[in-house]
Amino acid sequence: MKTLFTTVLFLSGLLFNSNEPEVAEFELSFSYYNHAGQTVYSYRLEGNQLKVTSNWLYGDSAYTDLYTVTLNPATIATLQSIKLDALKDHYFNNCIMITSGNEYFISAGYGNAQKEIHLHCYYKEEIAQLVAELNKVLPEEHQIGYEEKDTKQDCK
């Protein structure tokens, strides 16, 4: 009886008093819009689901759910492995007017350790990798359009 009581106490301690810190879940958000359009498209990883939504760029509007797909652990691991944390916070293409072209907003990380990146018509290899991985699981009508490697962006 004493052994049973000790075992129950031990297991209760493991369940309710674990000293192990909770591991934060990987979070990812990718949004973009074109200045000529009026719609923001957003891609958000929630657990193992990638949700695609849209909303009106100007003013408050409800989000419209466009598509949801469940990602396998290997895809999530690939997304996590892209070195976004080494990138700067802002990239601006001086060859394109500030009121023209595409704007991209990316947020990725764990819990409070988030990296946020804003790009204005700017090509970065790591972002191209991210877009390519996301596009692998999206049908054509919901794929992300991103700048090309030869995008002119060295204007002064």
Question: Three-state DSSP class for 137?
Answer: coil
* pLDDT tens-place string over residues 68-91: 999 999 999 999 999 999 999 999
**pTM exceeds cut of 0.85:** no
Region 138-144: mean pLDDT is 97
Question: Three-state DSSP class for 74?
Answer: helix
Question: Three-state DSSP class for 39?
Answer: strand
Region 113-134: mean pLDDT is 96
* pLDDT tens-place string over residues 127-137: 999 999 999 99
Q: How confident is the model at residue 57 (pLDDT cuts 50, 70, 90)?
A: confident
Question: Exposed/middle/buried for 44, CB within 10 Å: 0-12, 13-18, 19+?
Answer: middle
pLDDT at 15 exceeding the cut of 90: no
Region 94-110: mean pLDDT is 93
- Distance separating alpha carbons of residues 116 and 153, to the nearest angstrom: 21
Q: Where do the domains of the chain lie, and which CATH numbers do they carry?
A: 26-142 (3.30.1560)
